[in-house]
Amino acid sequence: MTETPTVNIRPHLPMGELADHARGPALSQATASRARLTLSWEDGTLADFPLAWLRDHCACPECRHPLTRERLILPLEAPTEAPETRVVEGNLALVWADGHVSRFDAVWLHQRRPGQGREDAVPTRRPWARDYRPTRVDHADFVAGAEGERTWLTALLRDGLVLLENGPLADEEVSRLASRIGPLRATNFGARFDVKSKPNPNNAAYTAIGLALHTDLPNWRHPPDIQLLYCLENDAEGGESTFFDGFAAAEALRVESPEAFRRLAETPIDFRFQDENHDIVWRAPVIDLDEAGRVVEVRLNNWIRDTLRLPLEEIDAWYDAYRAFWTLAQDPENRLEFSLAPGEMVAFDNRRVMHGRNAFDPSTGRRHLQGTYLDLDMCESRLRVLARRA
């Protein structure tokens, strides 16, 4: 005679939620008072939920649209009486005083216990350590399906930089790859741009000078988030790509020179691009902090820094702080430098990682990169969708 294993028969209730809530503990007990419901789960977890919260989160077709999954009710009236409360097959059933019935999935509730943070497939950002080496993903794995793309997105969102390799030498491949994730973010330079040089250049756009580390378009209130650069040709001598983690640089400045850090974080300055058809200006600090004092953005681009408009007594101190940050950001020990090979693509967070390139000799060969931008929201969204399917 064999023993029958315990099977969790808890049915999975629809909650208007696409992220997984199938696996987890069933409810064992529910007790309502006038303002709260106390729940206990099979794993020993206990939690209180305000009745107003439960009424607001009812997922029945009257309260939540069955197709759009969006909320249809406004929480204008607080429940005044405790509902009739039952645990049915491990899930929660409530009958409110007006007869309305709400059913809640046990695991969905477990994930949303008051005080619990949001579970998210998007990783937290991690500044580069001294031995940081970029994650590399094969083009074939990226386009084959979920796993390669997930690895690529996770590294990009965590480290602010990732490499793709062994791709085809095909015009517009960068646009095809970007479009898997979201719409291309257009700027005054278009949705897709060429970084190209020719032997014997006859135009300034085809110069071969080195480009110091910078972030793109800090003169926009919302600079492009993610930049993709796909290499189609690169046989000129020199022209190595350089990268520096702006978050790591800002943190180093905070330690080495707190006064310089504070000044760059607290002093908005003007950035500006102007040509015959455009005049795009934004005023923002070089280092942007959130309310908790964490670095959330770096704007560094010496070419399009506009007139420094500051009170007389602040000007010299600002230049001192800027020099300190600039010097730190040139530190070769912490700079990433490599040559992109044809068929390779680098993607990086333009509001975090500074990029540049070494000078090259255009008489020794061609160098052609194609680039575009993506919104961070689309990258995070794509990663959550892929995690949902995994």
Q: Which residues bind Zn ion (CB under 5 A)?
A: 58, 60, 62-63
Q: How far is the CB of 102 from Zn ion (least distance, A)?
A: 5
Q: How far is the CB of 60 from Zn ion (least distance, A)?
A: 3
Q: How far is the CB of 44 from Zn ion (least distance, A)?
A: 30
Which residue, 99 or 332, is less far from Zn ion as judged by CB? 99
Which residue, 63 or 378, is less far from Zn ion as judged by CB? 63
Q: How far is the CB of 38 from Zn ion (least distance, A)?
A: 21
Which residue, 62 or 259, is less far from Zn ion as judged by CB? 62
Which residue, 59 or 157, is less far from Zn ion as judged by CB? 59
Which residue, 62 or 320, is less far from Zn ion as judged by CB? 62
Q: How far is the CB of 94 from Zn ion (least distance, A)?
A: 10
Q: How far is the CB of 116 from Zn ion (least distance, A)?
A: 23
Q: How far is the CB of 64 from Zn ion (least distance, A)?
A: 7
Which residue, 16 or 134, is less far from Zn ion as judged by CB? 16
Show the CA angle centred on residue 207, arms to residues 205 and 209, nearest 5°.
130
Q: How far is the CB of 80 from Zn ion (least distance, A)?
A: 17
Which residue, 58 or 328, is less far from Zn ion as judged by CB? 58
Both tokens of 375, joined, read: 């919104």
Which residue, 47 or 63, is less far from Zn ion as judged by CB? 63
